[in-house]
Structure 1
C-alpha cells in the first residue's frame, strides 16, 4: 500500500466534505488534494528527490497534514521533529538525518538562525505559520500558490515513509526508519483490533504528530474517511471545547491527559456525549484512573494500545475487556491480527505462559532499522525478532502484561520489583494524582524502592500513610522505602515519565 491512497479514495467519495479543521480554518477534501499536489511540486522545485528527508518543526495543524501527504507524493520521507527539544537536540536530529529542507511554523521561527549555524547542510527553511515569513525563509502559502499540481508517484512498499527520532529518555535519540509497508501493516492490524474509528467520523488530534501514537490516530481517520480536528497543543480546557464544538467521536490520550480532563473544573459544563471511542496508551494507567475515566465518559468505549516507535501498535485491549473489568484490565491486550509477539528468555527462546522475560515481535510492522546506526540496529533486530527492551509475560490466553522496562526493574535485597506494580498500588490512594517508582542505590539493599508522588489539589498525605497503603496491597519488600512529594512529574513529549530524571534528581540525603 502507498500512504497517499486514502486521499485519492476520499477525493472520489467525499470531495466536498470537510477533511481538516484547524482553528477557524476548514478545508474540504478537494481543497486538500489540490494543495498537496501543489506542495509536492514546490518541494520538488526545492531539490527534494526520492529518498530525501523533509523535516517539519511545528505544532499540530492542517499544514502538518498536507506536509505528510505531499512528502510521500514525491517519494520522500517525512521527518517530523520533537517540538519539546532544545535547539541543540533539534540540530542533532536535522544534522544526523541529513535533512536539507525544513518546514517551521511561527512557534519555532526564532530558532531558525541557530539551526542554520549548527546545521550547515540545511539548505532551505519553509515558513508554514500564519504570520509573515521571516527573513531567510520561504513562504509555505506562496509555494502552494505558485506551483501547478503534479501527479502522485504512488510510492509504497519498503520505501522509507517516516523517520521518527526516539524520545531520547536515555542517551542520544535514534532515528527509527519506518516504511510504507510497515506503517500499513501496523495500522491495519490495530484498526481491526480496536474498531475505534468511524466512517465519516471526527478525530481530535491533541498529542504531537511527531509521536507514533498521534500519527496513527490521525492516519486511521484519514484511512476511514472523515474529518480531523487539530489542536496545536493539549490543554484540558481546549480539549473539552473542541469535543463539544466539533462533535468529536474519537481521540487518543495518554493517561496524564485523561487525568487532567477528568479533574478539570469545567468538565460538567461541556457536552462530551459525541465521544464514541477513547484510546489510551504511552504509559500504564492505574485502575483508579481508568475507573474514573469510564465513569466520566459513559458513552465512550475504551481501548488501550501498546507498542513503540519501532513497531507501531503491537497489542490491543478492546472495549469488551474494558466493560468486563477484572484482572485483565492490567494487561495491554492481545496481539493485533498483523502482529506476532513472544516473551523471550535470556537465551532468546520463547518462555512458557506467565514467565517474565523480554517482549519481542516480528512481522511486516517492524521498523527497517535505525538511521545510520548499524550496531544498534543489529542489537534490536536479531534472530528474526525485534527486541523491545520491555519486560513482560503472556498468559495462557495470549494477554500481554508489561511489567517494566528491563532497565527500570529494581533489585532490592535480591528480589525483583517491577515499578508498574508498585505504581498501581500507590495510584489507588485517594490523595494520589500520579506517581512514579524508581530504584535508588542503597548500601544495605543494593537498591531501594523510591516513590515520587504528586498529590491531588487540596489533598494531603504523609510518607507513612503512603507506605501503609502500599503494604495493604503488595508485599512489604515492594513498598517504597522512601517517598518524595513533588508538584509534577517530568515527562517526554509522548507523555512518558522520564525516570532517568527522577533518579538523577533524587536527594542524596533522602531517607
Structure 2
C-alpha cells in the first residue's frame, strides 16, 4: 500500500478530468501528475532522500496538494505544520523533526528569517505562494519548470509518510509518525463506513490540511478520481460561494464551521443542491445545531467521525442514524471496517457493554509511534492496543458513547488544546503563582479555554495582560478566552489540582 498509487490510477482512467481547483486555476489529472513528478525531481536535486521530512507551512492550495504527492513520490515524509502556531512552536517542530527543507506560501514567508535563526538545520526554503518570491527562497514554479519528471519511488507499507505534530500533555507538541499503510487503512475504513465520496465527485477542502481528518477527506476524493476545490481559509460566505460555483458534492467540517454557515444571514440565496454529504468531527455537536444545519442544507446527508491524530477515524455515525435521530445521535458511532475497538478497565481487561473505561484500538490504522519519544510511545501502545486517553462505553450494538477525557484535552472550534501547554505559558508570567486550565461549554466553540489563576503575593496582572503574554508563547487559539482569579485552587491529598471540581463550579 502506497499513497501515490491513486495518482497512477487517476492518470490511467481520468487523465483529462480536473483534479485541482484553486481560485481561477484549474489543473487536469495529467497536468497535476506531471507537475508532481517534476517537483519530486527538484526536491531530489535539492538533496531530499528517502525518509527525510519535508515541512509544509502554507494555507490550502493546489501547490500544497502537489507538495504532498511529490514528497511521497520521493519516498520522503510530509510534515504539514499548524498554520496557527506561534513562531516558537513552529521552530520546535522543525528542530524536533530534523526538517531541512520547508515550503512556505505568501502568508508565512515573513516568518522565514526568524525560523532560520532558530533552526540552524533548515537549509532550504521553497516559496509556494502566488506573489513574488522573497530573497533567499526558491520559487516553486521555477523548480517545476526546469525539472524533468522522475519515476515514482513507490515508498509504502511501513515507510514513514506523515509526521503530524499534536499538543502534548507535557506541554510540548510531539510528532505522530504515520506510515503509508496506517493512513490508507484508516482512510479506507472511513470511506467504507461513510460512503460519502463518489467517483468523479467534487470535494471542497475548507479545513486546514495539517489536520488528519482534512487530509483523509482530501485524499479520499483523489482515490475515487475527482476534483479537489481548495479554500485557503474558511469563511461562511466563501464556503457557500464555492459550493454553488463548483457544484461541490462533499466536504468535511468542524461544528464551529457548521454553526457559522447556519448563522450566515443570506444562506438561503445560495444554490447548494449539489452538496450531497457533509461529514463533521473534531468536537461534539449539539442536537440544536444539527437540526439547524439539516434545515439550512436539506439536500446534504450528515455523518460524524470520531478519531485522533494517532489513529485516524475510529468510529462513524452514519447518515441513517442522523436521519432517524433519537438517542444514538449522542453517540460517536461504530468502529469502521478496518478498526478494532474496545473499552478496558485500569488493569487492561475488556469491559462488557455499558462498562465505562478507557477507549482502546488496534490495527494497521494505528501510528508507528511518537517521533523520537520511546517512553511516551510505550505508554500509549500497550499490550497491542493504542490507548486513546478517552473514557467511554459501548452499547450492545457496538455504538461508542464518550463520557469524559482521561487526558486534560480541550476541543475548541475543532482544535485540540492540551491544558498543560496553556498552563506552562501562563506560569511563565512573573505574576502567576499557580494556575489551572479547563474547557468549559461554549455555544460557538463547543468548549472554550478557561484559566483559573492564583497571583503571587504583591503582584498584579489583568486578564488581558495574561492573554497577551501567552500569545507570545503559544498559538492564539490556545490562549484562554476567559480568565478568573482566585486565592487558592482545590487540591487533592496528593497535591494535585482537582480539575473536576473546577469544571463542576465553572460555567
Q: What is the deviation of 1:167?
A: 3.8
1:91 corresponds to: 91
Q: Distance in 1 between matches of 2:437 and 2:167?
A: 27
Pick closer, same or farther for the CA change 1:9–1:448 going to 2, 3 Å.
closer
SS of the residue 1:316 aligns to? strand
Deviations 1:3-62 (CA, angstroms, capped at 9, x unpaired): 001111111111111000000100000000110000000000010000000011000000
Q: What is the deviation of 1:155?
A: 1.1
What TM-score do you get using the length of structure 1 for normalisation?
Answer: 0.82
Checking the alignment, whether the CA contact within 8 Å between 2:169 and 2:407 is kept in structure 1 is no
Checking the alignment, whether the CA contact within 8 Å between 1:22 and 1:231 is kept in structure 2 is yes
Deviations 1:165-212 (CA, angstroms, capped at 9, x unpaired): 014576111100000011111011100000000110000001100110
2:40 corresponds to: 40
1:321 corresponds to: 321
Unmatched tracts of structure 2, length 5 or more: 420-435, 446-469, 488-504
Checking the alignment, whether the CA contact within 8 Å between 1:283 and 1:496 is kept in structure 2 is no
Q: Distance in 2 between matches of 1:449 and 1:90?
A: 24
1:149 corresponds to: 149
Pick closer, same or farther for the CA change 1:6–1:285 going to 2, 3 Å.
same
2:271 corresponds to: 271
Pick closer, same or farther for the CA change 1:120–1:241 going to 2, 3 Å.
same
Deviations 1:264-298 (CA, angstroms, capped at 9, x unpaired): 11211111111100000001111111111112111
Q: Which structure 2 residues correspond to residues 7-156 of structure 1 after superposition, within 5 A?
A: 7-156=7-156
Q: Distance in 2 between matches of 1:196 and 1:496?
A: 33
Checking the alignment, whether the CA contact within 8 Å between 2:305 and 2:332 is kept in structure 1 is yes
Q: Which structure 2 residues correspond to residues 377-396 of structure 1 after superposition, within 5 A?
A: 377-396=377-396
Deviations 1:412-459 (CA, angstroms, capped at 9, x unpaired): xxxxxxx99xx9xxxxxxxxxxxx9x9xxxxxxxx9999554589xxx
Checking the alignment, whether the CA contact within 8 Å between 1:253 and 1:279 is kept in structure 2 is yes
Checking the alignment, whether the CA contact within 8 Å between 1:183 and 1:365 is kept in structure 2 is yes
Q: Distance in 1 between matches of 2:441 and 2:380?
A: 31
Q: Distance in 1 between matches of 2:267 and 2:132?
A: 37
Pick closer, same or farther for the CA change 1:497–1:195 going to 2, 3 Å.
farther
Pick closer, same or farther for the CA change 1:250–1:449 going to 2, 3 Å.
closer
SS of the residue 1:218 aligns to? helix
SS of the residue 1:106 aligns to? coil
Q: Distance in 2 between matches of 1:449 and 1:147?
A: 51
2:335 corresponds to: 335
2:244 corresponds to: 244
Q: Distance in 1 between matches of 2:440 and 2:176?
A: 32
SS of the residue 1:265 aligns to? coil
SS of the residue 1:182 aligns to? helix
Q: What is the deviation of 1:506?
A: 3.1
Q: Distance in 1 between matches of 2:444 and 2:159?
A: 48
2:466 corresponds to: none
Q: What is the deviation of 1:408?
A: 4.5
Pick closer, same or farther for the CA change 1:236–1:169 going to 2, 3 Å.
farther
Q: What is the deviation of 1:497?
A: 8.1
1:348 corresponds to: 348
Pick closer, same or farther for the CA change 1:152–1:449 going to 2, 3 Å.
closer
SS of the residue 2:82 aligns to? coil
- Pair 1:357 & 2:363 matched: no
Q: Distance in 1 between matches of 2:123 and 2:339?
A: 40
Q: Distance in 1 between matches of 2:87 and 2:228?
A: 30
Checking the alignment, whether the CA contact within 8 Å between 2:369 and 2:377 is kept in structure 1 is yes
SS of the residue 2:354 aligns to? coil
Pick closer, same or farther for the CA change 1:455–1:19 going to 2, 3 Å.
closer
Q: What is the deviation of 1:407?
A: 3.5
Checking the alignment, whether the CA contact within 8 Å between 2:85 and 2:476 is kept in structure 1 is no
1:186 corresponds to: 186
Q: Distance in 2 between matches of 1:27 and 1:134?
A: 26
SS of the residue 1:35 aligns to? helix
Residue correspondences, number: 442
What TM-score do you get using the length of structure 2 for normalisation?
Answer: 0.83
Q: Distance in 2 between matches of 1:157 and 1:449?
A: 39
Q: Which structure 2 residues correspond to residues 401-420 of structure 1 after superposition, within 5 A?
A: 401-408=401-408
2:283 corresponds to: 283
Pick closer, same or farther for the CA change 1:167–1:229 going to 2, 3 Å.
farther
Q: Distance in 1 between matches of 2:222 and 2:264?
A: 30
Checking the alignment, whether the CA contact within 8 Å between 1:202 and 1:250 is kept in structure 2 is yes
Q: Which structure 2 residues correspond to residues 404-483 of structure 1 after superposition, within 5 A?
A: 404-408=404-408, 451=440, 453-454=442-443
1:6 corresponds to: 6
1:506 corresponds to: 484
Aligned CA RMSD, in angstroms, stands at 2.6
Pick closer, same or farther for the CA change 1:17–1:286 going to 2, 3 Å.
same
2:423 corresponds to: none
Q: Distance in 2 between matches of 1:136 and 1:285?
A: 46
Checking the alignment, whether the CA contact within 8 Å between 2:82 and 2:210 is kept in structure 1 is yes
SS of the residue 1:142 aligns to? helix
SS of the residue 2:30 aligns to? helix
Checking the alignment, whether the CA contact within 8 Å between 1:71 and 1:78 is kept in structure 2 is yes
Q: What is the deviation of 1:496?
A: 13
Checking the alignment, whether the CA contact within 8 Å between 2:21 and 2:27 is kept in structure 1 is yes
Q: What is the deviation of 1:508?
A: 2.8
Q: Distance in 2 between matches of 1:454 and 1:284?
A: 11
Q: Distance in 2 between matches of 1:330 and 1:240?
A: 28
Pick closer, same or farther for the CA change 1:449–1:377 going to 2, 3 Å.
closer
Q: What is the deviation of 1:404?
A: 1.9
Q: What is the deviation of 1:391?
A: 0.8
SS of the residue 1:200 aligns to? coil
Pick closer, same or farther for the CA change 1:258–1:170 going to 2, 3 Å.
farther
Pick closer, same or farther for the CA change 1:31–1:125 going to 2, 3 Å.
same
